[in-house]
Amino acid sequence: MLNKDSSVPLHIQLANLLRAQVARRELRPDDRLPSERELCQQYGISRITVRQALSDLVQEGLVYSSVGKGTYVAETAFQEDLQPLSSFTQDLERRGMRAASRVLEAAILPADNYWAEVFHVPRGAEIVRLHRLRLNGDVPIALQFSHLPHGLCPGLLQYDFTICSLYEVLRNEYQLRLARSDTILEAALATSWEAGLLGLSQPAALLVSKQTTILDSGAVIEVTRSAFNPERYKLHMDV
């Protein structure tokens, strides 16, 4: 639902919601979106707000309009981007942005029951925790919270992840073969801590992804939760 008390304009909230539905494949290429009237009734917003949201999505190439028929999901929505094994750095560079990172935490911790089950390691086994603020130049774009089993990448924290790509290090330094990843997308309200780091005024909406990356051996190598500022970064995914 839309938060009418949020500082994020309603048309941006609606556009973000529709983007998330496309990314989750709840809406697929050539699917017809609800009509303007239906969206107005569903979310209790004006037709002007709906038209502005749809116009933004049309300009992005995510949807297209057919006169007299409605608005549909574009095929290109799934052609360009869902590259889950592409690093954040590579993604920003493809968009002509200048990727940078600030490491907020880098630590080795004992696995609790949850991480032991996720990574199929004994309780107490070493887990890498890497928290980063991802930037376009000096502009904060996203917060990323990554966990990895240290046994598969021993000595990982010797690398400087303010400048190094995690995926490139895993591939090139550890010769790990990243086979696939599973991603879950959802909308969430930013905590005061998240809002402060991302330069948002509360209440603020975030687009959140949880990505689990799997090796060709079937072992889970990484779980990352990313919280994106939807006003500064559009999440695209290719499958």
Pull the structure tokens for residue 171.
């591939």
Chain-centre distance for alpha carbon 50: 24
Domain endpoint, select from 76, 98, 132: 76
Range of the domain at 165: 88-228
Q: State whether 149 and 202 are in the same domain.
A: yes
pLDDT value of position 33? 92
Domain count for the chain, please give it.
2
Residue where the block lists tokens 């073969």: 177
Domain endpoint, select from 26, 46, 76: 76
pLDDT value of position 232? 65
Does residue 33 form part of some domain? yes
CB atoms within 10 A of CB 115: 19
Does residue 83 form part of some domain? no
pLDDT value of position 80? 38
pLDDT value of position 81? 43
Q: State whether 221 and 121 are in the same domain.
A: yes
Does residue 233 form part of some domain? no
Q: State whether 131 and 199 are in the same domain.
A: yes
Q: State whether 197 and 98 are in the same domain.
A: yes
Q: State whether 218 and 104 are in the same domain.
A: yes
Does residue 162 form part of some domain? yes
Q: State whether 102 and 61 are in the same domain.
A: no
Q: State whether 69 and 112 are in the same domain.
A: no
Tens place of pLDDT for every residue, the chain, 239 residues? 788 877 778 888 888 888 878 766 788 888 899 999 999 999 999 999 999 989 888 876 778 887 778 899 876 544 334 445 556 666 666 656 677 889 999 999 999 999 999 999 999 999 999 999 998 878 888 899 999 999 999 999 999 999 888 998 999 999 998 888 888 878 788 888 998 998 888 787 888 888 899 988 889 999 999 998 876 665 554 43
Q: Which CATH number characterizes residue 99's domain?
A: 3.40.1410.10
pLDDT value of position 105? 95
pLDDT value of position 222? 95
Q: State whether 20 and 68 are in the same domain.
A: yes
DSSP per position, the chain: ---TTSSS-HHHHHHHHHHHHHHTTSS-TTPBPPPHHHHHHHHT--HHHHHHHHHHHHHHTSEEEETTTEEEE-GGGGTS---TTS-HHHHHHHTT--EEEEEEEEEEEE--HHHHHHHT--TT-EEEEEEEEEEETTEEEEEEEEEEEGGGSTTGGGS-TTTS-HHHHHHHTT---EEEEEEEEEEEEPPHHHHHHHT-PSS-EEEEEEEEEEETTS-EEEEEEEEE-TTT-------
Does residue 115 form part of some domain? yes
pLDDT value of position 82? 41
Does residue 46 form part of some domain? yes
Is 0.75 topped by the overall pTM?
Answer: no
Q: State whether 15 and 120 are in the same domain.
A: no
